[in-house]
A = this chain, B = another copy of it.
Amino acid sequence: MKKLNTAPLSGTQEFLPQTQATFDRLKSQISDTFRRHGYFRIKTPSLDRLDILLAKAGGDTEKQIYKVAKTSEDPARSDQGLRFDHTVPLARYVVEHENDLTFPFKVYQIGTNWRGERAQKGRFREFYQCDVDIIGRGQLDLAYDADIIATLLDAYQNLQISTPVQARISNRKILTGFLAALGITDKSDVIYHIIDHADKMPAGAVEDALVELGLPGSTVTAILALIHIQGPREEAIVALEALAIDDLTFRTGVSELAQTLELLAAAGHADAAIADLQIVRGLDYYTGTVFEFCLPEHREVGSIGGGGRYENLASYFTDQKLPGVGGSIGLSRLFYLLNEHKLLGATPVNLLDYAIIPLSSAEIPFSLQTAEKLRADGSSVTLVHLPDKKLSHRLAYAAKIAQRAIVIGEQEVATGNYQIKEFS
């Protein structure tokens, strides 16, 4: 009988060993892709100073930060918290270790972050994120934007998801220049907000929202035309140029988008990387390339990751200009969605390679030696010590945890030979 509620805390996840093994496979495949693309791994502490965590966070994020205090301390006076993303600790890390790092610095982080969000399906309070970033000192070449996107696309593709993954890419300069050319920069924040949420709005609602702003019909039409541009590089760039917008920022954005898509095509991602002018990625922070990943055959899943180019990683911490580009895979959310929509394909059952059953204690030494030999080749091997149980019970136990059993009795010890029983 249970004496306490032993369920994991709401908003956290724990898995049975088999599911954990699949999760770990995804995590290590992502890590391996990042490594092969030339990113160095770092790991910042989970705990950080509240003034560091709060420097960038505003609004909802601030309220979601977990403060931390010893049970023996006055918690109201805590100056520590749990990190809510990988970007703030990265900014602190790069400033702290600037003289020991080589720029451009290609870096990845895989680990847990915490946010006190309302727990709901696919949203967790404790969640894994996998981030890649490239940080420059003073400046950072545009080609690194494609490097980040190609790396993340490769990471998704190596997960053996049973449906294609697509990168939808835009450039914030296009929209900024576009609104400037239309003479409505005073409304740009609210327009960004509408476009950013267009994906989740019913048909016609975006138009209605823009009309409600008091924009002239021709302006609304123009904005709708822009944000409906979506497709392969050449098609999208032709459509953007056909808008004939006479604004330097706009033209720079189009050129950057074209170059980024070209590089992605050269990296073998011509089909997976498309332009999508509806991508905004929030109001602040990003200044150039912005991108999101989705499953085009499963639109209901929504965004499974994203990122973009930022002018300055660490303006809150240093005067040194550190431009960067980065992106993130929300692994906990992705894993939840892939399971929910059965998109992980048939995952192999997590069983040991061998269970060795010594019939009596006299056979344990030979069983141990046999196990050591099999382990030397990388096999996972356990010994079954159930001396009071019948052999049938021991074999039933072995069949639950392993793919094969080896029973070791007097004869096996005498001859040094044994049979391998395959369960299947």
Name A residues whose Cβ lies closer than 8 Å to a Cβ of B: 1-9, 12-17, 20-21, 23-24, 35-52, 55, 62-73, 75-76, 78, 80-82, 92-93, 95-97, 100-102, 104, 106-107, 112, 114, 116, 125-126, 141, 143-144, 147, 150, 263, 266-268, 316-320, 350, 352, 355, 361, 364-365, 368-369, 372, 375, 378-383, 385-387, 397, 400-402
Instruction: From B141, B361, B383, give the contact of A386 (CB < 8 A).
Output: B141
Number of copies: 2
Chain B contacts of A50 at CB under 8 A?
71
A6 touches B95 (CB 8 A): yes
> Least Cβ distance of A406 to chain B in Å?
13
CA distance A20 to B116 in the complex (A): 29
Instruction: From B4, B71, B75, B100, give the contact of A63 (CB < 8 A).
Output: B71
CA distance A299 to B267 in the complex (A): 55
- Assuming A21-B41, A40-B17, A42-B15, is B70 touching A106 (CB within 8 A)? no
Please give me the 4 A-B residue pairs with the lowest Cβ-Cβ distance, nearest first: A38-B382, A75-B75, A12-B45, A70-B116
CA distance A70 to B43 in the complex (A): 23
Chain B contacts of A76 at CB under 8 A?
75-76
CA distance A72 to B59 in the complex (A): 11
Chain B contacts of A23 at CB under 8 A?
43
Chain B contacts of A268 at CB under 8 A?
368-369, 372
A45 touches B6 (CB 8 A): no
CA distance A106 to B8 in the complex (A): 21
CA distance A43 to B386 in the complex (A): 27
A71 touches B75 (CB 8 A): no
A38 touches B317 (CB 8 A): no
Chain B contacts of A42 at CB under 8 A?
14-17, 20
B46 touches A4 (CB 8 A): no
Instruction: From B7, B63, B112, give the contact of A46 (CB < 8 A).
Output: B112
- Assuming A42-B17, A380-B35, is B81 touching A78 (CB within 8 A)? no
In the complex, the chain B residue whose C-beta lies closest to that of A124 is B45
B3 touches A47 (CB 8 A): no
> Least Cβ distance of A135 to chain B in Å?
13
Chain B contacts of A6 at CB under 8 A?
52, 92-93, 95-96, 317-318
Instruction: From B36, B95, B380, give the contact of A2 (CB < 8 A).
Output: B95
Instruction: From B64, B75, B112, B318, give the contact of A1 (CB < 8 A).
Output: B318
Q: Which of A8, A114, A316, A401 has the most CB of B within 10 A?
A: A8
Instruction: From B39, B45, B361, B381, give the contact of A36 (CB < 8 A).
Output: B381
Chain B contacts of A93 at CB under 8 A?
6, 14
Instruction: From B20, B126, B352, B385, give the contact of A143 (CB < 8 A).
Output: B385
Chain B contacts of A361 at CB under 8 A?
143
CA distance A6 to B318 in the complex (A): 10
Chain B contacts of A95 at CB under 8 A?
2, 6
A316 touches B38 (CB 8 A): no
Chain B contacts of A114 at CB under 8 A?
46-47
CA distance A375 to B378 in the complex (A): 24
CA distance A381 to B382 in the complex (A): 38
Chain B contacts of A52 at CB under 8 A?
4, 6
Chain B contacts of A14 at CB under 8 A?
42-45, 93
CA distance A14 to B24 in the complex (A): 23
CA distance A6 to B92 in the complex (A): 5
Chain B contacts of A68 at CB under 8 A?
66-68, 82
Instruction: From B3, B24, B44, give the contact of A8 (CB < 8 A).
Output: B44
> Least Cβ distance of A195 to chain B in Å?
29
- Assuming A4-B316, A8-B44, A47-B12, is B17 touching A107 (CB within 8 A)? yes
In the complex, the chain B residue whose C-beta lies closest to that of A52 is B4
Instruction: From B16, B17, B35, B385, give the contact of A141 (CB < 8 A).
Output: B385
> Least Cβ distance of A405 to chain B in Å?
12
B381 touches A37 (CB 8 A): yes
> Least Cβ distance of A106 to chain B in Å?
6
